[in-house]
Amino acid sequence: MQRRLGAVGAVGHGLLFWSDAGHQHRTLGEIMRANLDGSDVRQVFQMAEPSGLAVDVKRQALYAVSQTKGAPLVWSSYDGNRRRHVSRELLYEPRGIAVDPTDGSVF
């Protein structure tokens, strides 16, 4: 059984992103994406127990957090080819994040 914990759309770009924490015995989950019509489903990247997602449509960026203790905030391009940790603060089991579309601030 898969555990989908977060979903967010980039409607202007015709995309839907979601986090799949995977099966209970699997160590890595996935950030997935598809076109809004359900076609072209693909993996963007893997991370431990992904939970919260946010999209910065203006900058075509995706942010993700893991529900593990001490997990970083991850930034990625829509296709996953560029990815980096943008915060090394110890987050305590975060569940959700949001992006201010005017200045790109992440909460």
Is the separation of the CB atoms in 18 and 55 below 8 Å? no
Q: Which two tokens stand for residue 33?
A: 């994406």
Q: Which two tokens stand for residue 10?
A: 């980039």
Is the separation of the CB atoms in 80 and 45 below 8 Å? yes
**6: exposed, middle or buried (Cβ count in 10 Å: 0-12, 13-18, 19+):** buried
Per-residue pLDDT of the chain (107 residues; tens, 9 = 90+): 466 667 788 888 999 999 887 666 666 889 999 999 999 999 999 988 888 899 999 999 999 988 777 777 899 999 999 988 887 666 667 777 888 888 888 88
pTM above 0.85, yes or no: no
